[in-house]
Amino acid sequence: MDFALSDEQEMIVATVRRFVETEIYPHEAEVERTGKVPRDLARALRDKVLEMGFYACNFAEDVGGAGLSHLDFALVERELGRGSMALTHFFGRPQNILMACTEDQRERYLLPAVRGERMDALAMTEPDAGSDIRSMRCTATRDGGDWVLNGTKHFISGADHADFFIVFVATGLDETPRGPKKRITCFLVDRGHPGFTVRDGYRSVSHRGYANCILDFDDCRLPDAQVLGAVDGGFAVMNEWLYATRITVAAMSVGRARRVFDHAVAHAAERQQFGRPIAGFQGVSFQIADMITEIDAADWLTLAAAARLDRGLPANREIASAKLYATEMLARVTDATLQIHGGMGLMDDLPIERFWRDARVERIWDGTSEIQRHIIGREIFRPLGA
């Protein structure tokens, strides 16, 4: 497979890299210190991205996006991965699942999201339903012609800035030969809707400033017009539109690892001990050699998975492998970089400890490493009936 980039792809990479270096890096330390992205900074970032024509670049041109291929979009995410997630959030990549909007929903949700007028957040996880998403307890029941939502979601990223929420809840139960199975439906819920509240979540050591919130539904009444996709069709829309999002985690991990790697190399070349640069010791240079080998391998896995999607090939196993390997690679690279920096690596005078902390969540969200291994194993053994 040949990943020689076209001129246009080189331009995409250069443009996003320049944006991250000039518009994101200068604000990182302050966001890290305060744990917040000020509203005016968020708006300024969004406006710059709109001006560049990259806002909602993951959407098709006929709805106002840039119509990038999966591979092009992975290149964008790879560059964004270099910067603080709290800030690159405002580069604006609304959830593709909004493509499932009906005509009326397109006017209220999809198109304003693509234009940067409204931000979305995606809510699946609950305190008692993480990896086992189908065990969710949040319900919507029929009352008259409406739906009434009750329950709690937690860990919902970007909810502090979101104007509306894409929420998955249980709408029934099927008895199957393998036991009861919940039916899931996806709803669009506006911030401020009666019976729906958003409150502060937990303080995470990873990605300070990229807040996660708790959503409470207390007899929240919604009409049918708020159902995204079909009633009981939550898994169908999830599988169709969220299938590829793990590639973005892999791509961001690769981009961040390359940034971290540059710090490791610069420090190893500069730091003198025993009268020579520490890079001169095999104990250090071999760590560097392993790091770049693993980064390149993760990069190729990620781009290859994206290229399969562009060719319309099944890619579930390949996406899981990319997400698994890239996020675990990032953990090893950030840890080795910290080791190469010695004691100063742990001090917040340098960004190294931040990269190390930030890397931790990548192995958890969008499906833990164990769940990715489960997917890979299942894809291998299912055809054999095992």
List of residues contacting ligand FAD (CB under 6 A): 122-125, 130-131, 155-157, 204, 212, 361, 364-368, 370-371, 374
Tokens of 323: 């997400």
Find the shortest distance in angstroms from Cβ 128 to ligand FAD: 8
Find the shortest distance in angstroms from Cβ 339 to ligand FAD: 25
| Residue with Cβ nearer ligand FAD (127 or 342) | 127
| Residue with Cβ nearer ligand FAD (71 or 213) | 213
Whether the Cβ atoms of residue 158 and residue 119 lie closer than 8 Å to each other: yes
| Residue with Cβ nearer ligand FAD (223 or 377) | 377
Find the shortest distance in angstroms from Cβ 371 to ligand FAD: 6
Residue closest to ligand FAD, measured at CB: 130
Calculate the CA 225 to chain-centre distance. Answer: 28
Find the shortest distance in angstroms from Cβ 47 to ligand FAD: 24
| Residue with Cβ nearer ligand FAD (156 or 340) | 156
| Residue with Cβ nearer ligand FAD (115 or 374) | 374
Find the shortest distance in angstroms from Cβ 125 to ligand FAD: 3
| Residue with Cβ nearer ligand FAD (102 or 368) | 368
Of 27, 7, 36, nearest to 211 by C-alpha is 36
Tell me the C-alpha to C-alpha distance, in Å, between residue 110 and each of 169, 186, 221, 228, 236. 21, 15, 22, 11, 19
| Residue with Cβ nearer ligand FAD (94 or 130) | 130
In this structure, how many other beta carbons lie within 10 angstroms of the beta carbon of residue 299? Answer: 23
Residue with tokens 């095992």: 386
| Residue with Cβ nearer ligand FAD (96 or 157) | 157
Find the shortest distance in angstroms from Cβ 374 to ligand FAD: 5
| Residue with Cβ nearer ligand FAD (183 or 374) | 374
Tokens of 4: 């020689």
Find the shortest distance in angstroms from Cβ 157 to ligand FAD: 3
Residue with tokens 């899981």: 320
| Residue with Cβ nearer ligand FAD (112 or 367) | 367
Whether the Cβ atoms of residue 293 and residue 336 lie closer than 8 Å to each other: no
Torsion sign (Cα): 32, 33, 36, 39: negative
Find the shortest distance in angstroms from Cβ 317 to ligand FAD: 17
Find the shortest distance in angstroms from Cβ 272 to ligand FAD: 39
Whether the Cβ atoms of residue 298 and residue 250 lie closer than 8 Å to each other: yes
Find the shortest distance in angstroms from Cβ 50 to ligand FAD: 23
Tokens of 155: 């860990």
> How many alpha carbons fall within 13 Å on the CB side of residue 272?
2
